[in-house]
Chain A
Amino acid sequence: MYRYDAIDKEFLADRAAEFRGQVARRLSGEITEDQFKPLRLMNGLYLQLHAYMLRIAIPYGSLDSRQMRRMAHIARVYDKGYGHFTTRQNLQLHWIKLGQVPDILDLLAEVDLHAIQTSGNCIRNVTADPYAGATAEEIDDPRVWSEVIRQWSTVHPEFSYLPRKFKFAVTAAAKDRTAARVHDIGLVLRRARDGSLGFEVIVGGGQGRTPYVGPTIREHLPVDSLLSYLQAILRVYNRHGRRDNKYKARIKILVASLGAAEFARQVEEEWGRIDSPQADLPDTELARIRGAFTPLAFEALPARSDAFESAKAASPSLARFARNNVKPHKKSGYGIVEISLKAHGATPGDASADQMDLVADLAERYSLDDIRVTHEQNLVLPHVKLDDLPAVHAALAEAGLATPNIGLISDIIACPGLDYCALANARAIPIAQAIAQRFEDADRAELIGELKIKISGCINACGHHHVGNIGILGVDKKGEEFYQLSLGGSGQEDASLAQILGPGMSAERVPDAIETLVDTYLSVRQGEERFLDTVRRVGMAPFKEAVYADAH
C-alpha cells in the first residue's frame, strides 16, 4: 500500500496542530461558532444529535492492521468502543467530544490517517473496488489511479471550494463494486482493442433528492491524460455549477441541464486549452505511485486446498460461509474473504473496537496485512490462503463476524438515520434490524439469493436507497416516521434507479411488506433470476398489487 513520505507526515502533523489552535480559540471565545464551523468541517467534525461525529477518511477503503488498531484504540478511549463504517468506505465515530479531537487527530496522523476533505464542497475520499489487487477481473490496479487522484485532489487550491461536494469512484473490473455510475465522476478502466489502457469517464451520476445514473462522456480516455481531463471537467463545473442553489449545485444537475453531449463538448474544449504536459502526471511520478502497489509475495499454491475442502465437508457453517463470503482470488490457493458487519439484529456497518482489533490481527497473520472497507459497509481480508480459511472463519465466528450473508437479503446498507444524524427525518437502523431478524433463516436467505436492500433516513440518500433492489426511504410525516419503498434499483454495472412502489407506510409494516415482496418474487421468478431481474422482467404491478392488497 501507499506510504506517506516525510512531507506528507509533516503536513498532517501541521494540520492537527493548526486544528488544536482553532479549537482552543473557539473554546476561549476568540472565534465564533460561525467562524469555527467551517474549520471543524474541514477536519471532518460534525455536530450531530447527541455528540460530535468525526468522519475519518480511509483512502479508497484500503488500510493496514496498524491503522485499524489505531482506529480501534480511538474508538475505545475516546468514543463508546465502536465505530461505524460508511457507504463511502470511511469510518465515523459518533460520540466524540470537541475538546479531545486535537488529541485524536494527532493519533491519526501518527498512522497516516486524517479527516481532511471528509466534509465540505471539495473532492472527497475516492471510492475504489475493495477487491483491488486481489480479483482476477481487474485489468489494472484501481488503487494506483485512486492514489493519483488522492494526491492531486488533496488541498488542490482550485478545487477546494467547488459549488458542492464531489465524489469519485474508480474500478477496473467489469463487475462494479463501487457504484461508479452514481458518483459525480465514475472511472472504469478498460483496455482498448490495441491493448492501450483507458478510462470510461462517467460524469453526473448521483443520488440525493435528484438521482441520476451518470452518462458516459468519453469511452476511452488514455490513462496518461487522466489529470488534465479531470481538471477540464472540474473547471467546467466550477464555472457553471449552480452556487446559488444548494439543491441544484451538484455536477449531476449541470450535466443534466446542458445534456451529456454539450457538457462533453465543453469539457473537450476546456481540455484543449489546458497545458497537458504541465497538468498530467509525469511518468516517473506514476511509476513511483505504482511501485507502492507492486504485487505482493503470494505463494505458489495448488488451486485446491485439501485442508479447506475437508474442513468444509465437516462443517456446514464453514461451507455456508465459503459459499457466500469467500470470493475468487486471482492467485490459485487464495480467496477474498468478506467480513459481514451485518449480524442479524446488529447495526449495519458497526464494528466494536475488539472486532476491529481482531480484524487487524487476522489481516496481519493471514491477509498480507491488507484490509478493505466496502461501500456496502462490510470489511474484506483480500488475500487469505484457502488453507487458512478454517482458522480465519473460526476466529471470525467467535467474534460475531462470520455472518454468511454477503449480497443476501440481510446484507443491508443503512445510514445512521435519525438515531444519530442531524439531517435525518426518520430512523434507518431499526428498519434494517427488523428486516434482518425477519430473514434470519440462512437457508431461506440463500434460496432468495442476491437481494440488495438499502435504507436512507432522509432524501440525501447516504443509505443509497435509489439504487437498492429494494430501496427504503424514511420520511417525516407530520412528525412521525414513515417509509417509502421503491423497487428495481442497482448501483452496479447494470445501474438503474429504483421506482417508488406506492404510498408510504409505518415502520411496523415494513418487514411484512418486504416479506410480501419476497414471496411475490419467489412465486414468479424464472430459473436463476435474481430479484432485480424479476422486477425488470415483470415490472412493478404484481409487487404493488401484493403489498397494497389490504388497502383495496
Chain B
Amino acid sequence: MKALTANRLIDGEVVFWLDGRWVERFADAQLFADDDAAGPAAVETGLAQSTVIVEPYLIDVVPAPGGWAPVSYRERLRALGPTNEPTHGKQAEGGAGIEAILAATGAARSTGRVDLIRRK
C-alpha cells in the first residue's frame, strides 16, 4: 500500500493526504493500493497546491501490529519525530497510530525515497 506525504509550506510540518486535504497524523492518511491510479493522481493534485505544501511524494506502507507503518525508517521518523527527543514531534501525542509505527519491525527502502532522491 501507499500513502501520500509532503511538508506543509508555512511551517514545514509533515503532512499526509486524506481525501483532498492534508492531515498531520500518519494514522489518518489515506492508503492507496500499489496499482491504484488515485495515488499518482493525488500526487498531481498535491503538486498543484504549491502554496500549501512542498514536495509531495508517495511512500510505501506496510501492516504493523495494531495499524500501519511506513516501510522505510526515514519515513517512520517523519511520522513520529526525532528519537532523541521523545516529547518533540508527532510522537508526543501518543495513541494507537503512533504505537503501531513504534511497533513496526524491519525496514526497507521506500520507493518514494528513491524517487525523491532522483528528483533532487
Contacts and interface: CB of A to CB of B under 8 A. Distances in A.
Contacts of B109: 476, 478-479
Contact of B72 (A52, A433, A479): A479
Given A419-B84, A479-B71, A28 B51 contact: yes
Contacts of B81: 50
Given A47-B12, A49-B77, A51-B12, A420 B7 contact: no
Nearest to B82: A419
A119 B37 CA distance: 39
A270 B1 CA distance: 59
A27 B11 contact: no
Contacts of B12: 47-48, 50-52, 96-98
B84 A433 contact: yes
Contacts of B74: 49, 418
A356 B108 CA distance: 40
A50 B54 contact: no
B103 interface: no
B11 A51 contact: yes
Contact of B83 (A32, A96, A419): A419
A420 B77 CA distance: 9
A427 interface: yes
Nearest to A99: B10
B11 A80 contact: no
A347 interface: yes
A400 interface: no
A96 B77 CA distance: 18
Contacts of B51: 26-29
Nearest to B90: A50
Given A29-B50, A433-B84, A49 B78 contact: yes
A512 interface: no
B78 A347 contact: no
Contacts of A262: none
Contacts of B110: 479
Contacts of B13: 50-51
Contact of A33 (B54, B77, B89): B54
A387 interface: no
A interface SS class:
mixed
A480 interface: yes
B50 A33 contact: yes
B14 interface: yes
A52 B12 CA distance: 6
B9 interface: yes
Contacts of A449: none
A476 B72 CA distance: 10
B96 interface: no
Interface string B1-18: 000000101111110000
Interface string A259-298: 0000000000000000000000000000000000000000
Contacts of A47: 7, 12, 54-55
Contacts of A481: 73
A72 interface: no
Interface in A82-110: 95-99
Contacts of A48: 12
A430 interface: yes
Interface string A25-58: 0111100110000000000000111111000000
Which of B11, B12, B14 has the most CB atoms of chain A within a 10 A radius of its CB?
A: B12
B107 A480 contact: yes
Contacts of A202: none
A50 B8 CA distance: 10
A51 B89 CA distance: 9
Nearest to A28: B51
Contacts of A419: 77, 82-84
A68 interface: no
A429 interface: yes
Nearest to A348: B84
B10 A98 contact: yes
B9 A27 contact: yes
Contact of B11 (A32, A97, A429, A480): A97
Contacts of B108: 478-480
B83 A427 contact: yes
Given A47-B54, A52-B12, A479 B73 contact: yes
A429 B89 CA distance: 16
B73 A50 contact: no
Nearest to B84: A429
Interface in B63-82: 71-74, 77-78, 81-82
Contacts of B11: 51-52, 97-99
A456 to B, nearest CB: 16
A26 B9 contact: yes
A51 B85 CA distance: 14
Contact of A50 (B9, B10, B14, B55): B14
B11 to A, nearest CB: 4
B77 to A, nearest CB: 6
A259 to B, nearest CB: 33
A47 B13 CA distance: 10
Interface in A506-540: none
B54 A480 contact: no
Top 4 A-B pairs, shortest CB-CB distance: A419-B82, A51-B12, A97-B11, A479-B108
25 contacts: A27-B10, A29-B50, A32-B50, A33-B50, A33-B54, A33-B55, A47-B12, A49-B78, A50-B13, A50-B81, A50-B82, A50-B88, A52-B11, A97-B10, A97-B12, A99-B10, A419-B84, A420-B82, A430-B84, A478-B108, A479-B71, A479-B107, A479-B110, A480-B73, A480-B106
Interface of B: 7, 9-14, 50-51, 54-55, 71-74, 77-78, 81-85, 88-89, 106-110
Given A97-B11, A347-B85, A479-B72, 4 more contacts: A29-B50, A51-B12, A96-B12, A419-B83
